[in-house]
Amino acid sequence: MEQSKPVFVYSIGWDWLFWAAWIVFLVTAAAYILYLTPQNPGVPVFFIILSLLLLTTVWRSAAPRVRRAAFYDSEAKLTGRGIQTEFEYSRIKSVSIKKSILFGPRTEILLADQTKPYVLIRNPKSAALGVDLYSWLMQKVSKPNPGSQ
């Protein structure tokens, strides 16, 4: 069923750009400080170590296969590495939030016929609805199915 406009849209693209900009800034700052004070490499080494930690964290957080998602009123469409799926909300077994230090809360969606959840590294919010994706999905999942009487 094709819907006109999604209620929630998720994309990993801007997250990558944000963290890449921070890493470039830290490495550039380290190089500049090392250039200004070559006899004291402590601060630049700290910046480089921090950049490597950020890079490792960003790389590990890229492991979720979901790259884009569109949540419509009656269904969701997920695309990414090795996935291109559509499902109705009645197929959702559970929705959960996992805390993350750098990225904020992650949204995990487990379908009834799967063992591994789909992971979105953010929990997008809708300014128009005044609610986040997790809360909105919980409302969808907890509604009784009209055809199950």
pLDDT given at position 103: 64
Q: 92 with 129, same domain?
A: yes
Q: 74 with 44, same domain?
A: no
Q: 133 with 74, same domain?
A: yes
pLDDT given at position 149: 40
Range of the domain at 73: 65-142
Question: How far apart (Å, rounded) are the C-alpha atoms in residues 119 and 116?
Answer: 9
Q: Provide the domain count of the chain.
A: 2
Give every CB contact of residue 124 below 8 A, 6+ residues apart in sequence.
8, 9, 10, 132, 133
Q: 95 with 119, same domain?
A: yes
Phi first, then psi: give them for residue 118, nearest 5 degrees: -80, 130
Per-residue pLDDT of the chain (149 residues; tens, 9 = 90+): 555 788 888 887 766 777 778 888 888 888 888 788 878 778 778 878 877 877 776 666 665 678 889 999 889 999 988 889 999 999 999 999 988 766 678 889 999 998 999 988 888 888 888 899 999 999 988 765 554 44
| DSSP bridge pairs for 36 | none
Q: 30 with 46, same domain?
A: yes
50 is a domain residue: yes
Question: How far apart (Å, rounded) are the C-alpha atoms in residues 72 and 75?
Answer: 5
This prediction's pTM: 0.69
CATH number, domain containing residue 124: 2.30.29
Q: 84 with 119, same domain?
A: yes
Given the DSSP bridges, would you call strands 92-98 and 66-71 parallel, antiparallel or unpaired? unpaired
3 is a domain residue: no
4 is a domain residue: no
The residue ranges of DSSP E strands in the chain, in sequence order, are: 8-11, 66-71, 75-80, 83-88, 92-98, 106-111, 118-120, 125-126, 131-132
